[in-house]
Amino acid sequence: MLDYFGLEADLGEEERLLVASAREFVDGEVEDVGQHWIDGTFPTELIPKMGEMGFYAPNLDGYGLPNVSEKAYGLLMQELEACDSGLRSMASVQGALVMYPIHAFGSDEQKEEWLPKLGTGEAVGCFGLTEPEHGSNPSAMETRAEREGDEYVLNGSKTWITNSPIADVAVVWAKDHSEDGDPVRGFLVETDRDGVTTNEIDDKLSLRASVTGEISLQNVRIPKENRLPGVEGMKGPLSCLTQARFGIAWGAVGAARDCFETAREYATEREQFGKPIGGFQLQQEKLAEMATQITLAQLLAHRLADLKERGEMRPQHVSMAKRNNVRMAREQSRVAREMLGGNGITTDYSPMRHLTNMETVYTYEGTHDIHTLILGEDLTGIPAYE
Ligand code: FAD
């Protein structure tokens, strides 16, 4: 397993154990991920198993959560995405986009109701921010909440929502029209409420081993207690995205590492012109560049975790790491695919699957362009979004 600068040697016991258990899990339990990718399905039977393994928000504390280090959490995301981005997306959404906001901004009752069952995988959550007309600019969202007595009434539609068709609860971000200035607020919406529909989007050519859907809200009534009390404005959803993007910066390294390992093994076995293709300089250059780019991304991820652990990580640090590491994985998965020749376009090998997954990962959680603009603003002080 590529670890050229020996980063694993510095891991603590807890980190080592989590990496080992995640590797054992993906090797033993998720052998058929390629078939799920072909079928466009997620292995839902693994949802409680992943909970049992402590894969959902293990970096949070209380409510039976293990409170592992940020590095251990990142390493876990890396191992899950080495298997498939769909598996890492499941853990990212459940942990960073659903459990995190409940943990950070929820009432005691909300935490007690949801965190234990989301942690075990008994319940599945989803995060509804993107709308059909508002993707990169979610602050223009149209979904609205209005207070009526002891209830809120929600109307609007969300799209591209990971897990919405299989979710029990959705964290829905909406403008609260009963407050001055219509601030963005988070609401916990049980998906079996009247007026909620969650159609699946089933024509994806990327992230196929993941369930994606819409959330339509038509006069959905929820008790006022379902509003997340601890946050107001875009910092609510954006702080969740920072958590999830941290995991993606790590996860992308895993996908690229799996592509590299597949290409290295193939290059030592596949013979052309009387010798393994790995014996030709052109192929060695590809492996050398791939290993270098993966190693640089690993170093960035490790440093990011150190900053997060110390409380010094800024969202812009996360933007740089997400932007760089996903671009790296997108480029290097293509190189790996190329090294496998015709076999590289089949599902018998992982690079083409990772390559197509990376198109989603490059786009969601802030597109590559949007992270460029975040960095541009940070470096110049001048916003260039509009
Ligand atoms: P647009 O915002 O329309 O962007 C189109 C293009 O224009 C992009 O290349 C973009 O970079 C570029 N662009 C936009 N604005 C600018 C600008 N100011 N300057 C320069 N270029 C610009 N969302 C959720 O809320 N929850 C989820 O669970 C979720 N899961 C997803 C799963 C999948 C498989 C996918 C594909 C998406 C998911 N998303 C989710 C949505 C995702 O976050 C959005 O697709 C993303 O934010 C981009 O929005 P958009 O698709 O509307 O593209």
Does 2 fall in a domain? no
Closest CA to 297 of 332, 338, 262: 332
Index of the ligand 1 atom closest to the CA of residue 204: 34
Average confidence (pLDDT) over 221-245: 98
Does 161 fall in a domain? yes
- The rounded Å distance from CA 115 to ligand 1 centre is 28
Closest CA to 364 of 156, 208, 165, 130: 130
Q: Domain check: are 212 and 241 in the same one? A: no
Q: Domain check: are 244 and 218 in the same one? A: no
CATH code, 319:
1.20.140.10
Q: Ligand 1: which residue has its CA nearest to atom 53?
A: 135
Does 53 fall in a domain? yes
Closest CA to 156 of 147, 165, 148, 146: 146
Index of the ligand 1 atom closest to the CA of residue 365: 43
Index of the ligand 1 atom closest to the CA of residue 137: 2
CATH code, 113:
1.10.540.10
Q: Identify whether 52 is a catalytic site residue.
A: no
3-state secondary structure of 366: coil
Task: Categorize the per-residue pLDDT at 99 as very low, low, confident or very high, splitting at 50, 70 and 90.
Answer: very high
- Domain-terminating residue out of 226, 243, 264: 226
pLDDT digits (tens, 9 = 90+) for 298-307: 999 999 999 9
- State the chain's mean pLDDT as an integer: 97
Using CA atoms, how far apart are residues 257 and 264, in angstroms rounded to an integer? 10
User: Ligand 1 pocket check: which of 99, 358, 367 to mutate, most ligand atoms within 8 Å of Cβ?
Assistant: 367
Average confidence (pLDDT) over 18-26: 96
- The rounded Å distance from CA 362 to ligand 1 centre is 9
Q: Domain check: are 256 and 158 in the same one? A: no
Index of the ligand 1 atom closest to the CA of residue 128: 25
Check if the beta carbon of residue 44 is closer than 8 Å to that of residue 32: no
Q: Ligand 1: which residue has its CA nearest to atom 29?
A: 161
Q: For residue 323, give both structure tokens.
A: 């932007």
Q: Domain check: are 239 and 374 in the same one? A: yes
Q: Ligand 1: which residue has its CA nearest to atom 27?
A: 161
- Domain-terminating residue out of 226, 258, 281: 226
- The rounded Å distance from CA 38 to ligand 1 centre is 24
Index of the ligand 1 atom closest to the CA of residue 386: 18
- In order, the DSSP letters of 56-79 are SSTTSEETTEE---HHHHHHHHHH
User: Ligand 1 pocket check: which of 93, 160, 187 to mutate, most ligand atoms within 8 Å of Cβ?
Assistant: 160
Residue with tokens 């786009």: 363
Residue 279: φ, ψ to 5°: -90, 0
Average confidence (pLDDT) over 342-348: 96
- The rounded Å distance from CA 237 to ligand 1 centre is 14
Domain of 72, in residue numbers: 7-124
Average confidence (pLDDT) over 118-144: 98
- The rounded Å distance from CA 370 to ligand 1 centre is 9
Does 77 fall in a domain? yes
What residue ranges line ligand 1, CB within 6 angstroms? 93, 127-130, 135-136, 160-162, 207, 212, 360, 363-365, 367, 369-370, 385
- Domain-terminating residue out of 74, 107, 124: 124
Does 386 fall in a domain? no
Q: Domain check: are 205 and 147 in the same one? A: yes
- The rounded Å distance from CA 360 to ligand 1 centre is 9
Q: Domain check: are 67 and 193 in the same one? A: no
16: region left, alpha or beta (phi > 0 left; psi from -120 to 50 alpha): alpha
Angstrom distances, CA of residue 284 to CA of 3, 21, 263: 18, 32, 11
Using CA atoms, how far apart are residues 56 and 180, in angstroms rounded to an integer? 36
Does 185 fall in a domain? yes
CATH code, 196:
2.40.110.10
- The rounded Å distance from CA 368 to ligand 1 centre is 10
Q: What is the pLDDT of residue 338?
A: 98
Q: At what angle do helices 351-363 and 315-339 cross, to 10 degrees?
A: 150
Q: Count the domains in the chain.
A: 3
Does 28 fall in a domain? yes
Q: 51: how many CB neighbours lie within 10 A of its CB?
A: 21
In the DSSP assignment, the letter for residue 271 is E
Average confidence (pLDDT) over 306-319: 98
Choose, from 131, 365, 377, 386, the residue flagged as catalytic: 365
Q: Is the pLDDT of residue 31 over 90?
A: no
Q: For residue 226, give both structure tokens.
A: 């379902």
Q: Ligand 1: which residue has its CA nearest to atom 50?
A: 135
Amino acid at the residue 71:
K
Does 1 fall in a domain? no
Angstrom distances, CA of residue 138 to CA of 127, 251, 291, 370, 373: 13, 24, 37, 12, 15
pLDDT digits (tens, 9 = 90+) for 269-299: 999 999 999 999 999 999 999 999 999 999 9
Q: Domain check: are 178 and 285 in the same one? A: no
Q: Domain check: are 366 and 336 in the same one? A: yes
Q: Domain check: are 364 and 261 in the same one? A: yes
3-state secondary structure of 126: strand
Average confidence (pLDDT) over 116-121: 98
Check if the beta carbon of residue 151 is closer than 8 Å to that of residue 187: no
b or e along 211-238 (b: 16 or more beta carbons within 10 Å of the residue's beta carbon)? bbbbbbbeebebeeebbbeebbebebbe
Using CA atoms, how far apart are residues 285 and 265, in angstroms rounded to an integer? 15
Q: Domain check: are 106 and 16 in the same one? A: yes
Q: Is the pLDDT of residue 259 over 90?
A: yes
Q: Domain check: are 253 and 363 in the same one? A: yes
Q: Ligand 1: which residue has its CA nearest to atom 8?
A: 367
Index of the ligand 1 atom closest to the CA of residue 366: 47
Using CA atoms, how far apart are residues 282 and 250, in angstroms rounded to an integer? 29
Residue 86: φ, ψ to 5°: -65, -40
Q: Domain check: are 241 and 370 in the same one? A: yes
